[in-house]
Amino acid sequence: YDDRDGKIWMDGKLVEWRDANVHILTHALHYASSVFEGERAYNGKIFKSVEHSERLQRSAKLIDFEVPYSVEEIEAAKYATMEANGLTDAYVRAVAWRGAGEDMGVASAKNPVRFAVAAWEWGNYYGDAKFKGAKLDISKWKRPSPETIPCEAKAAGLYMICTMSKHAAEAKGCSDAMMFDYRGYVAEATGANIFFVKNGEVHTPKADCFLNGITRQTVIGMLKEKGITVNERHIMPEELEGFEQCWLTGTAAEVTPVGQIGDYNFEVGALARDISESYEKLVRS
């Protein structure tokens, strides 16, 4: 992604895409002092844009630094980046991190906080799985306890085991991995939340140790509006066998039906398709 034409918003101004670089002694590169957002714009408007900017600020606070821009400034930066790249339908990546400076140890209070926004066109995150149903591996890595790491932050450090899980999944021909949590309950995929259907009701893991996604919250609202019961609860691994349908939610993933998790199969059923289509309508409305 580094060798492209275009502009990236960096620390208050637009720079050439290829010049949007950082020093090798950037604190975030060594110690994961970085938070980010993944957003999507549809017809020129970023879906739930302010919620994403606010989450970025919250994530930074949770890992001990402040984004040096207000929500209004972050909003302006995101739209300026889209405009500079001539984009109306785009994936928008905002990122804030501890830069290089006086400190090179674990502490970094003296280092500047940096902020950037990039935007580009990104199609279906799971390719044709969106229609066929994604195939998921089961990861050996567990989402950590809230006593181990601030799980509600969208912070780089929480993604190390996601990358490892996804690599293992892809090596087995899967598009992603489902992860259990530190207690053994079903948690989420490596970059998306998970939902199940059984007997006309929806079940989704309680978001008490992983990101309570903006798409997850949107989809729960949509289901309730349709009069469908949503059970947010702890889900045991042995329950996977009894679920009829499954889908993933996330900004990049949108609503993607799941056809298989390990040895368990799910139909790409009417509700999964309905929610996927309703979400598409909502984000473009």
Query: Which residue spans within the chain are E strands per DSSP?
Result: 7-10, 13-16, 34-42, 45-46, 90-98, 113-120, 134-143, 176-181, 186-189, 193-198, 201-205, 230-233, 245-250, 254-261, 264-265
| Binding positions for ligand PMP, 149-188, rule CB under 6 A | 154, 188
Q: Is 127 left (phi over 0), alpha (psi -120 to 50) or beta?
A: left
Element (H, E) at 53: helix 49-62
Q: How far is the CB of 152 from ligand PMP (least distance, A)?
A: 11
Nearest-approach distance from CB 101 to ligand PMP, in angstroms = 28
Number of H helices, E strands in the chain: 7, 15
Q: Looking at this protein, which amino acid is placed at residue 15?
A: V
99, 205, 250, 259: residue in contact with ligand PMP (rule CB under 6 A): 250
Cβ 188 to ligand PMP, closest distance in Å?
5
**H or E element, residue 164:** helix 160-171
Q: Is 211 in the site for ligand PMP (CB under 6 A)?
A: yes
Binder among 156, 214, 258, 272 for ligand PMP (CB under 6 A): 214
Residue 19: CB minimum distance to ligand PMP, A: 27
Interaction between residue 26 and ligand PMP (CB under 6 A): no
Measured from the CB atom, the residue of 15 and 58 that comes closer to ligand PMP is 58
- Say how many residues touch ligand PMP, by CB under 6 A: 15
| 137 versus 188: smaller Cβ distance to ligand PMP | 188
CA distances from 45 to 48, 49, 83, 98 (A): 9, 8, 11, 29
Chain residue at closest Cβ approach to ligand PMP? 213
Identity at 112, one-letter amino acid code: P
* Pick 38 or 259: Cβ nearer ligand PMP: 38
- Triad 261, 264, 266: Cα angle to 5°: 85
Q: Out of 96, 216, 272, 276, which residue is the one contacting ligand PMP (CB under 6 A)? A: 216
Nearer to ligand PMP, 181 or 188 (CB): 188
| Among 85-93, 208-216, 234-242, 262-270, the segment contacting ligand PMP (CB under 6 A) | 208-216
C-beta neighbour count of 76 within 10 angstroms: 14
**Residue for token pair 């739930």:** 48
Closer residue to ligand PMP, CB minimum distance, 7 or 152: 152
197 vs 254, which CB is nearer to ligand PMP? 254
Residue 45: count of CB within 10 angstroms of its CB: 15
251 binds ligand PMP per the rule CB under 6 A: yes
Please tell me the distance from the alpha carbon of residue 202 to that of residue 193, in angstroms, as a whole number.
13
Nearest-approach distance from CB 22 to ligand PMP, in angstroms: 22
Catalytic residue among 135, 154, 166, 172: 154
Rule CB under 6 A: is residue 223 a binding residue for ligand PMP? no
* 154: annotated active-site residue: yes
Of 38, 99, 205, 257, the one binding ligand PMP by CB under 6 A? 38
Question: What residues are labeled active site?
Answer: 154
